[in-house]
C-alpha cells in the first residue's frame, strides 16, 4: 500500500471522486503543511495556520496506479487558481499535490506539464507540487461528510463553486 495526498479546496468535495475505485483502501480528510501540531478545524479555518485541507488516500499501486489518481485529481479543481478554489478563498483551500516519494514527484510534474501544454486553459497551471509533511486527520464529523450529511454536502458543493469549476473546465 502507498499513500497519496491531494489538496483541492474543501476536503469534503475531494473524497467522493476517489472512493469506490478498485485498489483504493481508504480516504481520510485532514490537514497538512502548517506549523501548528494537531490543528483543529476551527484553527485551520482561520487561514492562519499554514495548513491545507487535504485528503490522504491509501491505495494499492498494482491495482490503481498513482497516474490514475492524478487523472482523477485534476478534473476536481481549477488548476489555474493559486489562491483557493471557487468561493473558498483562504490559504487552506489552495490546490496542491503532496508527494510521498520521488516517483510520485516525477509523475505529478509530468502530469502537470501535460495538462499545461494541453491548451485546455487560457492561464498557466499553478497547482503546487510539494513534499508531503505530517498529516493530521480531521475531526470525525468531517470524515465521509458527503454520506453523513448529503443535503448539506450538496449545497456546499454548489456554494463553493466546485460544480461551476467542473462545468467550466472539465464538462467535455
- 13: annotated active-site residue: no
Number of domains in the chain: 1
At 139, the pLDDT band (50, 70, 90 cuts) reads very high
Catalytic residue among 4, 7, 10, 70: 10
Domain encompassing residue 27:
2-170
101-136 pLDDT tens trace: 999 999 999 999 999 999 999 999 999 999 999 999
Task: Say what the pTM is.
Answer: 0.94
pLDDT at 25 over 90: yes
CATH number at residue 40: 3.30.1060.10
pLDDT at 168 over 90: no
Burial (CB count within 10 angstroms: exposed 0-12, middle 13-18, buried 19+), residue 20: exposed
55-105 pLDDT tens trace: 999 999 999 999 999 999 999 999 999 998 888 889 999 999 999 999 999
Amino acid at each position: 500500500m502507498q499513500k497519496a495526498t491531494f489538496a483541492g479546496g474543501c476536503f469534503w468535495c475531494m473524497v467522493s471522486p476517489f472512493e469506490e475505485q478498485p485498489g483504493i483502501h481508504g480516504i481520510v480528510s485532514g490537514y497538512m503543511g502548517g506549523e501548528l501540531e494537531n490543528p483543529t478545524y476551527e484553527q485551520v479555518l482561520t487561514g492562519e495556520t499554514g495548513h491545507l485541507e487535504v485528503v490522504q488516500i491509501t491505495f494499492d499501486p498494482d491495482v490503481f496506479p498513482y497516474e490514475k489518481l492524478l487523472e482523477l485529481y485534476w478534473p476536481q479543481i481549477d488548476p489555474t487558481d493559486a489562491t483557493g478554489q471557487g468561493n473558498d478563498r483562504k490559504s487552506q483551500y489552495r490546490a496542491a499535490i503532496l508527494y510521498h516519494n520521488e516517483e510520485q514527484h516525477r509523475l505529478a510534474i509530468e502530469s502537470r506539464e501535460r495538462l499545461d501544454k494541453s491548451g485546455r486553459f487560457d492561464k498557466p497551471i499553478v497547482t503546487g507540487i510539494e513534499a508531503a509533511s505530517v498529516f493530521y486527520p480531521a475531526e470525525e464529523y468531517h470524515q465521509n461528510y458527503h454520506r453523513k450529511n448529503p443535503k448539506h454536502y450538496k449545497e456546499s458543493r454548489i456554494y463553493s463553486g466546485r460544480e461551476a469549476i467542473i462545468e467550466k473546465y472539465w464538462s467535455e
